[in-house]
Amino acid sequence: MPISTAPAITLRNGLELPALGMGTWPLDDSQAADAVATAVEVGYRLFDTAENYGNETGVGEGIRRSGIARSEVVITTKFNKQWHSREGVRKAFSASAQRLGTEYIDLFLVHWPNPGQDQFVEAVQGIADLLEEGMVRGVGVSNFKPEHLQRLAEAGLVPDLNQIQVDPRHIREASRQANNRLGIVTESWSPLGRGEGLLHDPSVTDLARKYGKNPAQIVLRWHVQQGLVPIPKASSRAHLEENLAVFDFVLEDSEIAALSALDTGEAGILDSNAFGH
Ligand SMILES: NC(=O)c1ccc[n+]([C@@H]2O[C@H](COP(=O)([O-])OP(=O)(O)OC[C@H]3O[C@@H](n4cnc5c(N)ncnc54)[C@H](OP(=O)(O)O)[C@@H]3O)[C@@H](O)[C@H]2O)c1
């Protein structure tokens, strides 16, 4: 049976990104290698890792073990605040590329803005330098608020993607609108709400019954139907397969709205002005 992959969406710089990917935190190297190799078999082509997860080596190993061509997968990784300078980003890139065993990184992300340190503009400039040199294919940020994006824009920098926490209980309307205004794709981290209470909410389970899908698939459909790119983490083949099978049904607008009404506001969101590494 031919495997089915996620459809592509196009970033503002022209790079094609699978509309759904796989998260790898908190897998260790060995677990990540196994899960990523399985995920490639299942049809995943977008993988999310980070220096901070300590599993870039395993992610690279899993991709190699799967036998897929490097050009067929999109690798996203992120660096910590100690590298927030133009030269620092270069060092972070070399270290991540070596751990991943790859010559280039598709999307390199500032993991947290750390505005207290006030060097995130330099960090994004550092990624833009690497883009010019062909070492990365896109400029990414994570956990950036509208005010941080504004600072970047004033310096003439607009990232291609902003990875933030989004799920139906945290719909992040203001952040998503700010991303949209700048043409930045929003990638959703913890898209399943960490697999906890959200998946048992009657608003989700009722729709699961209606569509013959499971709760995770309803939540992931809520993301992709709005142009959000979710990166659910799953360790079993069964979960990996289920999470990719969300492109064969359509929620009604009123159903998207009913799920969005689960929003609890920004209270449960880590404040990226205060937290970061
Ligand atoms: N940029 C950032 O600051 C940041 C922060 C946090 C996370 N992230 C990224 O976002 C990714 C996803 O976030 P997350 O791992 O926190 O949360 P998540 O993807 O919302 O939830 C993961 C949990 O859901 C379970 N699950 C997966 N598929 C399921 C299914 N079909 N049915 C039922 N349960 C299912 C998983 O269990 P199993 O493992 O048993 O399958 C796991 O316990 C991370 O892995 C990481 O790559 C980024």
Q: What is the mean pLDDT of the chain?
A: 97
Centre of ligand 1 to C-alpha 24, Å, is 8
From 189, 201, 241, give the residue whose CB has the most ligand 1 atoms within 8 Å, as the site to mutate: 189
Q: Return the pLDDT at 268.
A: 87
Active site residues: 53
Q: Are 204 and 198 in contact (CB under 8 A)?
A: yes
Per residue, the 3-state secondary structure of the chain, as one string, reads CCCCCCCEEECCCCCEEECCCEECCCCCHHHHHHHHHHHHHHCCCEEECCHHHCCHHHHHHHHHHHCCCHHHCEEEEEECHHHCCHHHHHHHHHHHHHHHCCCCEEEEEECCCCCCCCCHHHHHHHHHHHHHCCCEEEEEEECCCHHHHHHHHHCCCCCCEEEEECECCECCHHHHHHHHHCCCEEEEECCCHHHCHHHHCHHHHHHHHHHCCCHHHHHHHHHHHCCCEECCECCCHHHHHHHHCCCCCCCCHHHHHHHHCCCCCHHHCCCCCCCCC
Q: Return the pLDDT at 1.
A: 47
Centre of ligand 1 to C-alpha 153, Å, is 31
Please tell me if the CB atom of residue 194 comes closer than 6 angstroms to any atom of ligand 1: yes
Burial letters for 192-210: b for 16+ Cβ neighbours within 10 Å, e otherwise?
bbebeebbebebbeebbee
Please tell me if the CB atom of residue 244 comes closer than 6 angstroms to any atom of ligand 1: no
The residue whose CA has the least distance to atom 13 of ligand 1 is 190
From 20, 24, 25, give the residue whose CB has the most ligand 1 atoms within 8 Å, as the site to mutate: 25
State the pTM of this model: 0.98
Q: Return the pLDDT at 3.
A: 73
Please tell me if the CB atom of residue 189 comes closer than 6 angstroms to any atom of ligand 1: yes
Please tell me if the CB atom of residue 234 comes closer than 6 angstroms to any atom of ligand 1: yes
Centre of ligand 1 to C-alpha 93, Å, is 25
Please tell me if the CB atom of residue 168 comes closer than 6 angstroms to any atom of ligand 1: no
Q: Return the pLDDT at 196.
A: 85
Which domains are assigned to the chain?
A: 8-192+222-245 (3.20.20.100)
From 49, 192, 194, 220, give the residue whose CB has the most ligand 1 atoms within 8 Å, as the site to mutate: 192
Centre of ligand 1 to C-alpha 154, Å, is 34
Ligand 1 atom with minimal separation from the 240 CA: 28
What distance lies between CA 133 and its chain's CA centroid? 24
**Segments of the chain scoring below 70 in pLDDT:** 1-2
Q: Return the pLDDT at 32.
A: 98
